Amino acid sequence: MATTEWAHTTVMLKEAVEALDVQAEATYVDTTFGRGGHAKRILDSLSPQGTLIAFDKDPQAVETAQALGDPRLQIRHQGFAALNQLPPNSAMGVLMDLGVSSPQIDNPQRGFSFRNDGPLDMRMDSSKGQSVYEWLAEAKTEQIAEVIRDLGEERFANGVAKAITAKRDAGQLPDTTLGMAALVAEVVKTREPGQNPATRTFQAFRMFINGELEELQQALEASLHVLAPGGRLVVISFHSLEDRMVKQFIAKHSREVYDRRTPFAAAPELPLRALGRQRPSAEEVKANPRSRSAIMRVAERVATAREHA
């Protein structure tokens, strides 16, 4: 049976790969292969001696990578928290393109979107773990509200959670995306112009069921282990919570902090140098509206005195 090929437009393609400052014979890591937009651009810059290691939870993304048949590409069916499994100082660049790819959103069977009806799933890797429906079928009202409030930043979180558990207790818990979106819309009466009332709730469910913030924190910490001195960390985020985490991580590891308790002590060696942030161009946002919330932050691994020795 034929399958639909869901299109994906890579966000900040040129800018991200330029920020990596690719060296032809070095090793790079793409922590979210997706449909290979950034990866293919990196491979274009590598010589036959170069290597690209890619991670992705999505079996379809793994199949796409394998279909390229490029001996320089190593694809791993893992989330990017597994970055810590790579050898220390082994890569000259780590790219993290966060969020959901267009094929995942556009394919109703993945259950990420309320644009078309599909099962209430939202797992990046549908072969393991709970679906959103399975979690909602047993979660407490307080837990559901906390997830919607903290990850979706939805001010009607308590009302949405109560409505969901009321439907569940009546044996009417929606098991489809459109059914859940309609239930949320009954509670969320006001929303930003052009935004579906269920947007924040669906975002929260997706981030929770996939453990996205926890995995991001683990991957950021692992990047310090994997990057060689002079290597670049490039992170594209689409959500304020993700961007805040990336911003704070880079700041923590790149800014000197004056300690008044020990004013004459040597400043601690910091492993990163912040290289700034960038937003998509107006032309890109016009051509691909999904890029409008993207923020790219870049940092460079700095050699410590021990590594110089």
**Gap between the Cα atoms of 194 and 13, Å rounded:** 27
Q: What is the pLDDT of residues 85-137, one digit of tens each?
A: 999 999 999 999 996 665 555 565 665 677 788 899 988 888 888 999 999 99
- Could you tell me the residue ranges of all domains in the chain? 13-102+212-308, 125-209
Cα-flanking dihedrals φ and ψ of residue 34, to 5°? 60, -120
- Of the pLDDT bands very low, low, confident and very high (cuts 50, 70, 90), residue 267 is low
- Of the pLDDT bands very low, low, confident and very high (cuts 50, 70, 90), residue 3 is very low
pLDDT at position 90:
97
Q: What is the largest CA-CA distance in the chain?
A: 71
For 126, the token pair is: 């549908």
Kindly give, in sequence order, each residue whose CB lies less than 8 Å from that of residue 152, ignoring residues fewer than 6 positions away: 200, 201, 202, 203, 204, 205, 207
Has residue 69 got a pLDDT over 90? Answer: yes
pLDDT at position 102:
53
- Of the pLDDT bands very low, low, confident and very high (cuts 50, 70, 90), residue 5 is very low
The pTM score is: 0.86
**Gap between the Cα atoms of 177 and 249, Å rounded:** 34
Interval 41-66 mean pLDDT: 94
Which residues on neighbouring strands pair with residue 278, listed in sequence order? Answer: 296
* Residue 65 and residue 33 in contact, taking contact as beta carbons nearer than 8 Å: yes
Kindly give, in sequence order, each residue whose CB lies less than 8 Å from that of residue 300, ignoring residues fewer than 6 positions away: 230, 231, 232, 233, 272, 273, 275
More confident residue, 7 or 238: 238
**Gap between the Cα atoms of 296 and 278, Å rounded:** 5
Mean pLDDT of the chain: 88
Q: Which 3-state string (H, E, C) describes 264-276?
A: CCCCCCCCEEEEE
Q: What is the pLDDT of residues 274-285, one digit of tens each?
A: 999 999 999 999
The correct answer on CATH 3.40.50.150 for the domain covering 13-102+212-308 is yes
pLDDT at position 254:
93
Interval 213-231 mean pLDDT: 96
More confident residue, 169 or 189: 169
Interval 250-263 mean pLDDT: 70
- Of the pLDDT bands very low, low, confident and very high (cuts 50, 70, 90), residue 4 is very low
The topology (CATH level 3) of 125-209 is: DNA polymerase; domain 1 (1.10.150)
The rounded percent of the chain whose pLDDT value lies above 70 is 87
pLDDT at position 107:
61
